[in-house]
Structure 1
Amino acid sequence: MSQQAEWLRQMFDMEDFRHTGHALIDLLANQLTNDIKGQSNILNWQEPQIADQLWQQPLPEVSNLDSKGLLQWLQHTVIPRNLAVHHPHNFGHQIATPLPLTALCDLVAALTNQAMAIYETGPSATLIERQVIRWLNTAVGWNAGDGVLTSGGAQANLTALLAARQHAADVWQQGLQNARPMRILASKFSHYSVSRAAGIMGLGTDAVIAIEVDANGRMLPDALQAAHEQCIATNQIVMAVVATAGCTPTGSLDPLQAIGEYCQSHSVWLHVDGAHGASALLSNQHKALLKGIELADSLVWDGHKLLYMPATVSAVLFRDKDASYSAFAQDASYLFQGNDAEAESFNISYRTLECTKRMMGLKLWAAFSLYGRQGLAQLIDHAFAQAKKMASKILANPQLELLMLPDTNIICFRYQDLTLSPEHGNRLQSRIRQHIVASGSFHFTQVEINGVIWLRCTLMNPFTSEVDMDELIAMVRHTATSLSETSTSQ
């Protein structure tokens, strides 16, 4: 056997793959069990500058690891340095604790490697995605809607806003030089990807006009109207209004009914960034919170948040099927023949930024098929209920201040020390968080709103109990006291 043939045999050794795969599943299952039980730290913190030095090594010229060594490296080096998202002390970002069986679907997607640029490079992947998109549209209330899956909500927001721009003015081929100035009216709490999309599209980030919110973080319709009228008076095109269903800072839900009715009466494209909160559409208990979402022209919905999918899978949905084709235009004879319009509609690359596109729909299809709408709704209902429980605990504690009652599953609060200046009060919140996260006890975040820093918790983990909430609150109080005493003694 030649050396090349031996290399190929080793690289594609099915028995090695089978044996290593079984061992890897056992390893991950054991780790998942430990994480859910909270048997170790949620995070083994190292300063990134220090940690990076430990990982640096020269590019291997020849093999220096076998499959057994790979498993050991994963077990002892990679996994222990991960953030344990299934740990009950995970109060951090809007990152799902993935449903384990859906992670297996990602393995299928990785190995079968369906590129999905066109139908023939991913037949089943294409048909699965189309079915998932139909299910999501049905949940919104759009019987004639369409859309695609993308690699994350930022890309989905960009895709929707590209369609909105083309709806406002035909600029794809000749650019913006002959178009009137375009503006995007977006909630003050809109995700940064909206501003980034404006920059990418050549509008400039200043094209995004921030609309004020009320004390509960919800866009003010009167402020929206005033901004719209100002744009009209200055001969600017409002290419889109961006409302938020579950904003990132506070989880707040904009008044979608009022915003939708205003946009329809003034023929303005309404885009709803529902990356986080759109999943409430599946819940009989909470879908009324999203009343009016069906009035949108486009909608973003993340699966890797409250649908509990492995990252990443986002849907960008369009109420009008034809609008889903307006974001992009392309001429590539090596992909698109254009002879049969109906057949060409199965080529997803017409409507996505990506050409090579991962088989993302399989895990969503599996989750809906395994657990049904009602099963997934239970996860959402539980997360929202957990946030209400934690809010009540904070309200009952005189040393803590709650920013607002939660619309969804995000809580913002802070430790109150009335002896501190605003600047030192902010610094205390940051130090509390840094100290606790570095200890590996809990993971949570912080957010600055109107110059005030708040501790921010996202109740995503179905294994988080009231005991865990009580422990975090107690640790925040204890840490604040300890830091204050240390500062005083110095």
Structure 2
Amino acid sequence: MQFTGTAVARAAIRKFNVFGNLRVTNIYRLAPLSSMASMNRDDVFSNPDVQEMLLKLHHMMIKTLIDSETKKVPVCTFRQPEELQKTIDFEINNEPASHDTILDACKSVMDYSIKTASPRFLNQLYSGINPTCLAGSFVTETLNTNLHTYEVAPVFVLMEKYMMKKLTTLMGFENGDGVLCPGGSFANMLGMHLARLRKNPDIKFTGMGENKQVLLASSEAHYSIVKGASFLGFGEKNVLRVETDEKGMMKPCALERNIQTCIKEGSVPSFVMATTGSTVLGSCDDLNAIADVCEKYGIWMHVDAAWGGGVILSEKHKHLMNGVHRADSVAWNIHKMSTGLLQCSLFLTKYKGMLEECNKFNAEYLFQPDKHYDVSYDIGDKTVQCGRKVDVLKLWLLWKSRGNDGMAKQVENSFENANYLVEQLKKRDGFRLVMPEFQCPNICFWYIPKRLRGKEENKEWWNEVATIAPQIKRKMMEDGTMMIGYNPLTTKGYVNFFRVIVTNPLTNPSDMDFILDEMDRLGADL
């Protein structure tokens, strides 16, 4: 007996079509079912009711994205935790929930979640959702496989090998390799992991023991270096923060002084983390100057380009990564400036085979040497993980749909909007830039309400300014008009200021103007 889901699918699309006159042809044609029992199960795709539920959900998702992109819905519908717990039914019962209940739950999740696709979501280092990249996520979840052996992920293994070759070449690593990671922090820790093995090859077997290895990074570098030091056994006390200049760039002379002090004290400097695009100020270290110091003392140089790595795609901005070819490894989050979907994080190294040298275990149940294919395509031993989610399809489809030129244009669009915002901030009363210019599209500024303008800027004045950003942030989230982050920066003595992250492909100068107008509306009378 044969069933077709086409009629069900067409009916669902007619009922829930949010696009107008959408043509639908031969959506699904189902294989014969062995029994009516399988069709009646609620956990099989051959059940027409399941198909209808998924089609309804799909259109609900797409409508949410369209409304977010076009700013028809608030960026957020904020509720305090206690209120939100009462709004959404989190309870799981003994009996299965109906399809309608599942759909209602999904709608509530989307209604009360942050709309990161909105051009006015400028809160984090990610924003915007690329349709082709989302298609990659759909396909990845549909296939639900593990990226460790060729036998279970043949296409994805070849795809990742291709992308790692493309990306390492882009960095100037002629014989490099890489791997997709669960986040930029993990990629930074992989760099630390390889560095300690390079410094002491026996450490894989003997352990850290009386560790004397020291890690160095700028005062503006990401906190993952401290977490990594704890996680990997270096110890937090063995992380040295290096002084930065007024732009937040590591001072190479200060780096060398710190290294010399370590050596005199009997410590072993083994890892320097430079930064391209610091989290707050967007600072980009002078990679050539840092490489000079690292090469002089034989220290592994890692570049945390999780945020700023996208600049290498643009002829206009790739100078910010001059010297990256001299690094030993790089971390880069495609889900940030290049707007891939979370998560899409890269670890790249110039040493082919070193990932395996550091992490290989040869688990017999996975990596049999007598398989019927070339076992060099079993890539699972390149990481400390066993199971690894497939992230490469999102990356490959994003890049394929844009081409190299489109990837560069995305980066350049971010910088153009950020530069426009800076120029407008300079013209407006009540706004003050934290720095005169920024190396990446992180734009940081204070908002000064009317009552504080023209007053003596003493300690009490700055204490008052520190209270303004939290108040405006509360009001903007309650209204849902936009989302922008704020923070102090104690390394520079700065009180709370706003940090606008400009990366969404749909953001334009009118959105930059809206930010300033909305700040005035929310904060002028504070």
- TM-score, normalised to structure 1's length? 0.92
Counterpart among 30, 52, 56 of residue 23 in structure 1: 56
Residue of structure 2 in register with 1:74 after alignment: 106
Aligned pairs (5 A) from 1:471-490: 471-483=514-526
Structure 1 residue 384 corresponds to structure 2 residue 452: no
Question: 3-state DSSP class of the match of 2:209?
Answer: coil
Counterpart among 469, 477, 481 of residue 429 in structure 1: 469
**1:67-115 alpha-carbon deviations (Å, 9 max, x no partner):** x44334323x111112111212111101131211211111111121111
* CA shift in 2, pair 1:10/1:164, >3 Å: same
Give the Cα–Cα distance (whole angstroms) in 1 for the partners of residues 114 and 288 of structure 2: 38
Question: 3-state DSSP class of the match of 2:445?
Answer: strand
Is the Cα–Cα contact under 8 Å of residues 159 and 327 in structure 1 kept in the other structure? no
When structure 1 is superposed on structure 2, of 54-63 and 28-37 the one drifting more is: 54-63
**1:391-428 alpha-carbon deviations (Å, 9 max, x no partner):** 11112224211112121111110023345533222122
* CA shift in 2, pair 1:2/1:54, >3 Å: farther
Q: Which of these two proteins has the greater Rg computed from alpha carbons?
A: 2
Structure 1 residue 438 corresponds to structure 2 residue 489: no
Is the Cα–Cα contact under 8 Å of residues 162 and 328 in structure 1 kept in the other structure? no
Give the Cα–Cα distance (whole angstroms) in 2 for the partners of residues 278 and 191 of structure 1: 14
Counterpart among 340, 348, 351 of residue 317 in structure 1: 348
Give the Cα–Cα distance (whole angstroms) in 2 for the partners of residues 327 and 53 of structure 1: 49
* CA shift in 2, pair 1:186/1:343, >3 Å: farther
Residue of structure 1 in register with 2:488 after alignment: 448
Give the Cα–Cα distance (whole angstroms) in 2 for the partners of residues 240 and 456 of structure 1: 30
* CA shift in 2, pair 1:166/1:344, >3 Å: farther
Task: Report deviation, 1:283.
Answer: 0.9
Residue of structure 2 in register with 1:173 after alignment: 205
* CA shift in 2, pair 1:8/1:220, >3 Å: farther
Question: 3-state DSSP class of the match of 1:406?
Answer: coil
Residue of structure 1 in register with 2:71 after alignment: 38
Question: 3-state DSSP class of the match of 2:353?
Answer: helix
Task: Report deviation, 1:344.
Answer: 4.1
Residue of structure 1 in register with 2:219 after alignment: 188
Give the Cα–Cα distance (whole angstroms) in 1 for the partners of residues 54 and 274 of structure 2: 44
Question: 3-state DSSP class of the match of 1:294?
Answer: helix
The amino acid of 2:128's aligned partner reads T
Give the Cα–Cα distance (whole angstroms) in 2 for the partners of residues 143 and 71 of structure 1: 50
Give the Cα–Cα distance (whole angstroms) in 2 for the partners of residues 57 and 133 of structure 1: 41
Counterpart among 174, 182, 185 of residue 151 in structure 1: 182
When structure 1 is superposed on structure 2, of 145-154 and 95-104 the one drifting more is: 95-104
**1:4-34 alpha-carbon deviations (Å, 9 max, x no partner):** 9558833113344544444333323322221
Is the Cα–Cα contact under 8 Å of residues 257 and 291 in structure 1 kept in the other structure? yes
Question: 3-state DSSP class of the match of 1:120?
Answer: coil
Is the Cα–Cα contact under 8 Å of residues 190 and 347 in structure 2 kept in the other structure? yes
Aligned pairs (5 A) from 1:192-207: 192-207=223-238
Give the Cα–Cα distance (whole angstroms) in 2 for the partners of residues 42 and 138 of structure 1: 39
Task: Report deviation, 1:368.
Answer: 1.9
**Structure showing greater relative contact order (alpha-carbon pairs closer than 8 Å, 6 or more residues apart):** 1
**1:291-316 alpha-carbon deviations (Å, 9 max, x no partner):** 01111100011121122111111110
Question: 3-state DSSP class of the match of 2:151?
Answer: helix
Give the Cα–Cα distance (whole angstroms) in 1 for the partners of residues 129 and 472 of structure 2: 28
Residue of structure 2 in register with 1:487 after alignment: none
Counterpart among 60, 63, 66 of residue 96 in structure 2: 63
Question: 3-state DSSP class of the match of 2:331?
Answer: strand
Give the Cα–Cα distance (whole angstroms) in 1 for the partners of residues 380 and 40 of structure 2: 33
Structure 2 unmatched ranges of 5 or more: 1-32
Identity rate, percent = 25
The amino acid of 1:80's aligned partner reads D
Task: Report deviation, 1:338.
Answer: 4.6
**1:445-475 alpha-carbon deviations (Å, 9 max, x no partner):** 0122124221111001122222222222122
Structure 1 residue 461 corresponds to structure 2 residue 493: no
Give the Cα–Cα distance (whole angstroms) in 1 for the partners of residues 40 and 153 of structure 2: 25
Is the Cα–Cα contact under 8 Å of residues 390 and 469 in structure 1 kept in the other structure? yes
Q: How many residues align?
A: 479
* CA shift in 2, pair 1:8/1:105, >3 Å: farther
Structure 1 unmatched ranges of 5 or more: 484-490
Give the Cα–Cα distance (whole angstroms) in 1 for the partners of residues 378 and 269 of structure 2: 31
**1:365-413 alpha-carbon deviations (Å, 9 max, x no partner):** 1122221111111111000111111111112224211112121111110
Task: Report deviation, 1:327.
Answer: 3.6
The amino acid of 1:423's aligned partner reads N
Give the Cα–Cα distance (whole angstroms) in 2 for the partners of residues 57 and 24 of structure 1: 19
Is the Cα–Cα contact under 8 Å of residues 133 and 148 in structure 1 kept in the other structure? yes
Residue of structure 2 in register with 1:119 after alignment: 150
Residue of structure 1 in register with 2:83 after alignment: 50
When structure 1 is superposed on structure 2, of 301-310 and 423-432 the one drifting more is: 423-432
Structure 1 residue 470 corresponds to structure 2 residue 503: no
Is the Cα–Cα contact under 8 Å of residues 121 and 127 in structure 2 kept in the other structure? no
RMSD: 2.3
* CA shift in 2, pair 1:53/1:173, >3 Å: farther
Task: Report deviation, 1:182.
Answer: 1.2
Give the Cα–Cα distance (whole angstroms) in 2 for the partners of residues 55 and 37 of structure 1: 26
